[in-house]
Structure formats: C-alpha cells, structure tokens
C-alpha cells in the first residue's frame, strides 16, 4: 500500500503531537496508508521519515517564524514553534531531492513559499485591506469564499474546474511569491490561494483546507487521489 506521511501539529501546552482526522480519512479514501510523522529534534529521523514514505502532506498549524523570511515578529503574528519550522524546512527541502509528490495545506503553502525565498503577510487583517474574512476558524467546511483556478496549471488539471468555493481558516498568507513557484489559484479579493512549480514538480500548495471538503466535494477528494496515484508511479 502507498504510504503518505503527514507532518504532525505540536500541542505546546500538552507537549504532544496531533493531526486533524480529515487528513487521515482523505488519504484512506484515496487508497493510501496515512503515516503520522511526529516532531523530533533528530535530523536523521527527519530524513528517514521521508525515505519511508511515498508521498507527503504538509498540513496546517502554527505560524512560521518571520526570521525565516527575513522579518521581525509583528504584533499580529500568532503562535510560533521554531522546532517545527526547522523540521519541516529540512523535510521539505530533502523531499524535493527525492521527486516524491506532496500536498501542502494552509501553513503548508506558507512553508513552501518561505522555503523558496518568498514572504508572508504576518496578519492579513492588520496588513491588508480586504472585505473577505479569511480567519473563519469555527467553520470547517463552509464555503466561505470563491477562488479562481488559473488556466494551464496542474491544479486545474486535477480539479477539472475554473473556480471553487472553499473554506478559510488562516490569518497569514503568501505575499511575495518564492523563486520557481507559480500561482495556480487566487481569492476573490486578489490574495494568493495556491502555488505550484514552474518546472512541473509534482507538488500542490493550497491556502484552504481541502481535507475538510473532500468527503462532500469530489473535486477536493481528487487532490488526495492525485497524491496517492503520483506516489504510486514513483514507488
């Protein structure tokens, strides 16, 4: 069975890892075996987890430390877990050397952008004028707003549609796009909602949470189906 590694969130108060179950069920529906990758300070283990998995998911969670994109922490920035930043940046950069496919979701798209030299809005509400409330944390499914899927992108090929209604549970967002990345989805207020690769690397990064939508909206489940199928090609 194709294995999909899912990086874990970190509960600072309880000192334990966790992952929302919708990631797990979406991978299982796609025919994959989800494996939880816990937070650790051992770089050899980080590498081994990538080696053992056929594909990867970088999920939502805490804010990335602004030092990773050359900024000071602003008042609107949220909880930071530097240990997770270190592990996921290593994991992501090593994953790229393997050619294995991945999905990067919410924090994940921010991680991808930062890893390629891009920047983030540390807090949308305080840094950008928009009439869309992107930080709708209490609504898992939604929909909250529409995104436009860009023509000629891998995301368009996977979803098979030019727009989508999505949920929205984030207060940070991609600002300047990192080197080698291209925008594949844009919110109705102009914010970047998706990234992929100019060179065609099999990776999709999204600001919304398709795992919460996958049980109801077939197009969102197709993202996880694609991940497992791409991983199977390379297994």
Return the active site residues. Answer: 106, 209, 211
Task: For tokens 């890892």, name the residue.
Answer: 17
Task: For tokens 């920035």, name the residue.
Answer: 77
- What is the maximum span of the chain, computed from C-alpha positions, in angstroms? 47
Residue 77 vs residues 15, 80, 125: alpha-carbon distances, Å? 21, 8, 11
DSSP letters, 158-188, are: HH-SSEEEE--B-S-EE-SPPTTEEEEEEET
Neighbouring C-alpha atoms within 13 Å toward the C-beta of 88: 36
Q: Which residues contact 213 (CB under 8 A, 6 or more apart)?
A: 141, 142, 166, 167, 220
Burial code (b: 16+ CB inside 10 Å, e: under 16) for 39-72 equals beeeeeebeebbeebbbbbbbbbbbbbbebbeee
Q: Is residue 216 within 8 Å of residue 228, measured between CB atoms?
A: no
Q: Which two tokens stand for residue 20?
A: 């929302």
Report DSSP state, residue 43: H
């Amino acid at each position: 069975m194709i294995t999909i590694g899912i990086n874990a969130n970190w509960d600072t108060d309880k000192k334990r890892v966790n992952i929302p179950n919708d990631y797990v069920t979406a991978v299982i529906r796609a025919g994959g075996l989800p494996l939880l990758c816990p937070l650790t300070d051992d770089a050899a283990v980080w590498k081994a987890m990538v080696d053992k998995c056929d594909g990867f998911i970088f999920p939502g969670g805490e804010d990335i430390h602004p030092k990773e994109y050359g900024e000071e922490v602003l008042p609107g920035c949220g909880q930071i877990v530097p240990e997770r930043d270190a592990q996921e940046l290593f994991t992501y950069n090593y994953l790229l050397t393997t050619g294995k496919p991945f999905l990067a979701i919410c924090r994940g798209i921010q991680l991808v952008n930062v890893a390629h030299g891009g920047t983030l809005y540390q807090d949308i509400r305080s840094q950008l004028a928009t009439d869309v409330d992107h930080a709708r944390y209490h609504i898992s499914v939604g929909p909250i707003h529409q995104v436009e899927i860009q023509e000629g992108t891998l995301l368009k090929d996977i979803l098979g549609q030019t727009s989508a209604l999505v949920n929205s549970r984030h207060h940070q967002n991609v600002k300047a796009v990192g080197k080698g990345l291209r925008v594949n989805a844009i919110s109705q207020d102009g914010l970047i909602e998706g990234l992929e690769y100019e060179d065609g690397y099999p990776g999709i990064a999204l600001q919304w949470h398709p795992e919460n939508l996958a049980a109801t909206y077939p197009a969102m489940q197709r993202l996880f189906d694609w991940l497992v199928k791409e991983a199977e090609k390379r297994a």
